[in-house]
Structure 1
Amino acid sequence: MINIIAIITARGGSKGVLRKNVRDLNGKPLIAYTIEAAKKCKWINSVVVTTEDEEIKAVSRMYGAVIVDRPNELATDHALSRDVVIHALEVIEKKALPEYFVLMQPTSPLRTSDHLDEFISKFLTSGSASGISVVQCEHHPYKVLVDQEGIFQPIKGWNFMEQPRQVMPKAYRPNGAMYILSPKDFRMFERFYVEPVYLFPMETEVSIDIDSELDLLIAQQILKRANKY
């Protein structure tokens, strides 16, 4: 059996949605959806939540997660996920490092254990060094303008600005729901994207990332309609 752990990063000082990781979503704290999905996944042996927040710690323990006490300097607005995971692995290493870890953000409540099972299964047979979940871009990047010293230029060219999306290649972006790689590769490169990268496309609806009160309302309606929780 491959040893795989889930690492969930959850700090207390959210800005867009106050206390969002423990906000109620259809009768459960937001973070509970991610912990439960990880615990139900057939591949994941342990679920770790790294946080500095006492309420998040209590809620996470209640749903069966192991806590890594995150230093306050890694819980600021400017702290990088990379540094948070480096610290978490240092703590986990005192017992034993897993063969792989899955990084999961608690603000993706519609990612389920079924998604995790399929994602990990396909990654393990892909021959890839890392894997990420993605969603098709809502707006095609070829139609994006960038500021180059005060002059706005299209990324690809002005001719693409008028092309219908249907004739352009499909474009995807990370949705933040799931990443997987080995601690060894992560420490070597200090990033979550290590080539070759396996991409796991997810539907737009289940890729919602709770970053505003509107996102929370949308997720609530989706869950009610699905009647899955």
Structure 2
Amino acid sequence: MIESRPSELAYVERVWRSRSEDVGRMMSVATSHWELVFWEQHGQVQAAVLGPEAKASWAPVPGDAAFFGISFALGTSMPHIPVSRLVGGNVAIPDVTRRSLWLKGSAWHVPGYDNAEAFVLRMVREGIVDLDPVVPAVLGGACPDLSDRTLQRRFVAATGLTQGAVRQIHRARQAAVLIQEGAPAQEVVHRLGYFDQPHLARSLKRYVGRTATELSARDTAEPLSLLYKTAPLAPA
């Protein structure tokens, strides 16, 4: 079971925590957000920066482990670890203990579910995390005074993905949430602008790793990674 909450901080999309219980693997749903994740197993603490995922894939789940993660907002990045190099991958953070970790040569207290924002604000103050305002502006429907080429270059640099990929992933995740809530597939097609049910089916399989029928059944033996309701993006 994954517990999560939204954040009012512009740099953070969501904060979450979970514990593994008799689950060997999960379906990692495509996501356009990068994350900072900590986990403790058998008294050992580890941490890593996880990049965006352009498609769904199976992921192993360490047994008897506790997890905590910060999902960063679109447009945020760590300049010393370019997001474009992280897509589909991760970078381990060395020398992590229950109390401390090292980031760019400085000692930091390990954050938790309730003080994640304070940790991120320090990252911002020390230049470890940056935010390109062009990305949230574009996704919100604004038209920055930039050429299409420059806009696309900045978008990819800040997110690791194209605008089209971000929108397709976002829509598929919305569709999965609606289906889990009991919405019929045809209604989801209409509400989210898919061409037809086969188009929806292909999108779900690619980005969520489940069919509409499987989403309705809610497989607990091999669960999905974090899914949650989000506001729709403005049309491109």
Using the size of structure 1 for normalisation, the TM-score is 0.29
Between Structure 1 and Structure 2, the one with more helix by share is 1
Using the size of structure 2 for normalisation, the TM-score is 0.28
